[in-house]
Structure 1
């Protein structure tokens, strides 16, 4: 029986910024006031339209990584509450997801940052959060602004909602940068240690934070200096110890993403990397020149037994202008701007070579066997079936195998030796896939499977009989090694 896998779809929104700088607020009219709202879209309208697709067949969650407001004003938070409630009520990828599958954290703009006392800075956010989610948090309690969710039973996931804006205060060093204090770190670690190790290892692990945890050149602003999260080193170290897969954040209005995959020779255990994903800004007018408002769709599959994951990130940008100038707001639409599909291997991808005896090649002793080997080149006319195995993003399936034909010596292969068609098959449980040379010169095919299988490639040529090649689609596993070899894919 193949091991249980986890799969999750995430809609990642950030930096909505309800207020004067909200993109979906009608522009100023001549004189006082704004243009009429009638017919002007709201952010929720465009998102619901863009997310009206079919149910992906796996759990779907919505993560909002801060800055729902512009100034922390109650009117802004009322708009934010309406927005979150509609996200829970409307169809998101096939059906309503409910407030229980929406995870929201605060950002620096959600704080009344000119107030001196924390309870005053956090009063409006606390009211918004309590009203929206039916909570009873207190502005005097910093722990009411973080939450940890063991949702392994229904979502197959553990989700941390962290607060990097706790100390944001005007005219202080904390005005622009975020921070995670030691109390929050200790509470986070205690929660994760409270989940049995095997159970936690089976889960997709996601952390939400507003400020960017690592400063990279594309997120730097010369006027502000270093403004990444204080204590980020401790935070990321702990998240990697517990095998986290994703950190979602906002703040910079720029949709960067990258792997945090630093390693050291002085640790006994170097854990796999974390994909760190910025949400850009879904609703602010203040974006970098040449950028777009955007949000992310993320699909993640996790195979605990193989310590193998796959994350496919799609950043959806909002088109508001074209070559002819501004587009009518009623015609604004989201479209893919970037798709990144990557896999992570949490352990060595192949067993370690231990019991090996070798000798020099002998024509007399090995010639017959080598002739049989070379005969395979001749039978297949230099066309060699190969494959790559990765986690499948099709719910109910375990792995995906990409199949194609590599030419052994392209410079020596004649046109007649190239197949006119390759037919891929793997028994009665799989579809038979036919790929002609005109369709794809690599004859590439994809199969999804629940158990290991031997795939057959039937190569048809313009002249002569067909040839048959075989490749084995394996079930990946995390092999143990005696050394500290790092193998992350």
Structure 2
């Protein structure tokens, strides 16, 4: 078990499903305008479920209902996040399709409805209606059905969402008892045709303040140990690649306050959709006249999993994300691994393939380590001038160590491991002073971490010029690098050993509190 030292979360992030006339997985339309046969044409649910099951078979059955009987925290958790535009025109049949998708997808993954989190998009309300209640009536009915089912599982009273106040859809889902806090943020509350909010998102200051108060009400220790995710539909920060020419360049109104509040509560990631363009970047600005620590916040745009309307760019296709998060509260470090999957429906010649041949492939991997920085530590100790008589012997030892490795030195990088049962991953490699005359590249390196690791990594130069290897572990260890030069003559054969230490960060360190 992780002994409450880390959290491991798999997030299936889908956005902009657009159930309706512009849904990419609809049956083919015949020349007379009537839909054709569905046989052979996969649904979005079937297609994504097949891809996830093939790619990550081990994530099934890791929902909230699989919490250990002793009430502890699961080593691994899987959730589904839907960041808006579930429908094309907020019609009841389209919401029914979205509801069926959510239920089928959860069941197919062995998850419960408490493992599904959803926010509305600008297409999920009747934005032609003048009255707020009329714009939001259908979405609120849809969301209440989901909230009621979750409440029954939790044994709590079902919340009510009045269509007159869609701002109440911005709320905190507190599952900190099992290491997760999710902010569901409604950025479409003010969307209305013919107004300034028709094409932009907005989160008002009262909603931001309410989120802040809900987060403060959570036990500080539980909050600090939890993975914290925010879901929103519109883009909270804009990169040039997310901008639409002629459509404005606005991020969510009040995004500075919203993102600032999320950073103060040390959220790890914001997931969104809206632009149908998959992006991932870190948001970590720091104002010089504040004392806020640097806490990188990863922003992940989900593209569109189901719309036929995509950006006219090379390689544009439907996408979804598999996000894997490892959080070490004691360090504090978070590793966020984003794999964007792209839908392939055309063959090499650009012809549309039959439905049974449609598949998903990896478009991009983004693997980042997020660490909260501390204030610079004051300089400790003193200095002294070099004493040739005293220090020469030590200098000879240093030179001998350089010569013994022929200027090849093992180095290490430590980060959270994506193995749910291990805490950290040690990445080791050989760095060399290749510009020195006495440098000689080894032919192979054998990496060993002791008897608890029965396999010794043997890496030859033609396999990896830096002799890369990795170890997943749950405690400190000393890693040995055995360097070999395999000369044809006995006199040319040589070996040496060098060592690097893999630390387990966070133990006994003073960490700045959230």
Report the TM-score, using the length of structure 2 for normalisation.
0.88
Q: Is the 1:246–1:276 Cα contact (8 Å) retained in structure 2?
A: yes
1:287 to 310, 317, 322: 310
Give, in angstroms, the shift of residue 253 of structure 1. Answer: 0.3
User: Do structure 1's residue 407 and structure 2's residue 432 form an aligned pair?
Assistant: yes
Q: Is the 2:168–2:207 Cα contact (8 Å) retained in structure 1?
A: no
Structure 1 residue aligned with 2:39: 38
Task: Provide the rounded CA distance (Å) in 2 between the counterparts of 1:267 and 1:477.
Answer: 26
User: Do structure 1's residue 113 and structure 2's residue 142 form an aligned pair?
Assistant: no
Question: Mapping of 1:124-203 within 5 angstroms?
Answer: 124-134=138-148, 136-154=160-178, 156-203=179-226
User: Where in structure 1 are there 5+ consecutive unaligned residues?
Assistant: 483-489
Task: Provide the rounded CA distance (Å) in 1 between the counterparts of 2:96 and 2:171.
Answer: 22
SS of equivalent to 2:335: strand
Structure 2 residue aligned with 1:474: 503
Give, in angstroms, the shift of residue 43 of structure 1. Answer: 0.7
Structure 2 residue aligned with 1:104: 118
Task: Provide the rounded CA distance (Å) in 2 between the counterparts of 1:383 and 1:237.
Answer: 45
Structure 2 residue aligned with 1:337: 363
User: Do structure 1's residue 74 and structure 2's residue 74 form an aligned pair?
Assistant: no
Structure 1 residue aligned with 2:64: none
Task: Provide the rounded CA distance (Å) in 2 between the counterparts of 1:345 and 1:142.
Answer: 35
2:285 to 262, 271, 281: 262
Greater mean alpha carbon deviation, residues 221-230 or residues 366-375: 221-230
1:434–1:348: structure 2 CA closer, same or farther, 3 Å change rule? farther
1:142–1:458: structure 2 CA closer, same or farther, 3 Å change rule? same
1:352–1:131: structure 2 CA closer, same or farther, 3 Å change rule? closer
2:413 to 388, 391, 416: 388
Structure 2 residue aligned with 1:22: 23
Task: Provide the rounded CA distance (Å) in 2 between the counterparts of 1:336 and 1:359.
Answer: 56
1:54 to 54, 57, 70: 57
Greater mean alpha carbon deviation, residues 29-38 or residues 303-312: 29-38
Structure 2 residue aligned with 1:486: none
Task: Provide the rounded CA distance (Å) in 2 between the counterparts of 1:2 and 1:34.
Answer: 55
Task: Provide the rounded CA distance (Å) in 2 between the counterparts of 1:271 and 1:348.
Answer: 8
2:484 to 433, 436, 460: 460
SS of equivalent to 2:58: coil
1:132–1:357: structure 2 CA closer, same or farther, 3 Å change rule? closer
Give, in angstroms, the shift of residue 461 of structure 1. Answer: 1.7
SS of equivalent to 1:76: helix
Aligned length: 474
Report the TM-score, using the length of structure 1 for normalisation.
0.92
Task: Provide the rounded CA distance (Å) in 1 between the counterparts of 2:262 and 2:253.
Answer: 15
Q: Is the 1:58–1:395 Cα contact (8 Å) retained in structure 2?
A: yes
RMSD: 2.0
Runs of 4+ off more than 4 Å: 478-482
Q: Is the 1:26–1:40 Cα contact (8 Å) retained in structure 2?
A: yes
Greater mean alpha carbon deviation, residues 239-248 or residues 55-64: 55-64
1:297–1:15: structure 2 CA closer, same or farther, 3 Å change rule? same
Q: Is the 1:215–1:227 Cα contact (8 Å) retained in structure 2?
A: yes
Greater mean alpha carbon deviation, residues 258-267 or residues 27-36: 27-36
1:159–1:257: structure 2 CA closer, same or farther, 3 Å change rule? same
1:150–1:481: structure 2 CA closer, same or farther, 3 Å change rule? closer
Give, in angstroms, the shift of residue 327 of structure 1. Answer: 1.7
Give, in angstroms, the shift of residue 359 of structure 1. Answer: 2.9
SS of equivalent to 1:326: coil
User: Where in structure 2 are there 5+ consecutive unaligned residues?
Assistant: 60-74, 149-157, 487-491
Question: Mapping of 1:194-273 within 5 angstroms?
Answer: 194-273=217-296
